[in-house]
Structure 1
Amino acid sequence: MRVYLPVTLDELQHGSPVLLTPRVAHAVTPQLRATWPDEDEEGWEYAAQAGAADDSLVRVAGSPDAPPLRVVVAADVPDAAVRALTDPPVPSAVELTAAVDLAAVVSVHVDEPEAAADVRAVVDGDEAAIERLEERDLLWYDVSEVADIPSV
């Protein structure tokens, strides 16, 4: 199953070979499909990635030393490593029950460095900055490029 994991850039670039500990992640769930029945697979995946990007903001807010960029890791994990949440905060939220290592990572999606001011503003409670970030697409990186992702 493809999952989208919210992370911080420092967590990703300075982690151990097991990159991500168990956490709430996002995926194309039956609830997400039911919420937007007219979407296609690509639209549902975009919605799941957007949910992870929102959760990445929460992780940045909780890590003052982390670069102020949204970061989402796309990974393919066994279905058994994902559990449905009883009362998910958004339709794409799931519980990842196993750690994810580098071999499972498919791609990484990161804000461009110019988005840092808006990320900081969101962390400080600026509602207008949320709207500006929603208009930005995350940049795509191959897993081999993780160490080269620019920070601010």
Structure 2
Amino acid sequence: MRLYLPATLDDLALAADGAVTLTPRVAHAVTPELRAALPDEDEEGLEFSAHLAAADDSLALLAVAPAAPQLRLVVTVDVPAGAVREGTATDAGPSAVELVEPVGRDAIVCVHVDEPALRDDVRAALAGDEAAAERVAEADLLWYDVAELAELPR
């Protein structure tokens, strides 16, 4: 099952051996609830919607992790269906699911992160600046292959 995990760059810190373990958390996916909420969207549109929800949740994670680099991060993973519990995170939107097992680097498909130039807007958005929050919401995240994890901006 494809999931979009909201994260911080500190969550994705590489161990000395290159290992990564992401802990259980609320994630986003194309769920039956999302399909019902967006009946006119195609599969790509549904995936993008789930991805955007994860980016919003990443911003919320940054609000409680001020020491983390202030860039949103979405980690795309493929996990077995048994690693996911649907219908338990309903307050987090129609794409919300619960990742109930840790996932390692081998499950990561790619990551998306804000470009470093957006850092000041992320900080301002977290401080309540509505114009900055709009700029952050409209900004596209940059795509990185799993082989590029060590090269992510911090």
TM (norm. structure 1) is 0.94
Matched, 1:95 2:98: yes
- Aligned length, in residue pairs: 151
Alignment partner of 1:106 is 2:118: no
Matched, 1:150 2:143: no
In 1: Cα distance, 2:12 partner to 2:128 partner = 25
Which ranges of 4 or more aligned residues in structure 1 deviate by more than 4 Å?
A: none
Answer whether contact 2:86 2:98 (CA < 8 A) is retained. Answer: yes
Partners of 1:32 and 1:4 in 2: CA distance: 14
- Aligned ranges for residues 3-152 of structure 1 at < 5 Å? 3-14=3-14, 17-86=19-88, 87-151=90-154
| RMSD over equivalenced CA pairs, Å | 1.3
CA distance in 2 between counterparts of 1:132 and 1:85 reads: 31
Could you tell me which runs of 5 or more consecutive residues in structure 1 were left unpaired when the two chains were aligned: none
Q: Deviations over 1:5-58 (max 9, x none)?
A: 011112212458342100000000000011111101110110111111011111
Aligned-residue identity in percent: 60
Unaligned runs of 5+ in 2: none
TM-score, normalising length: structure 2? 0.93
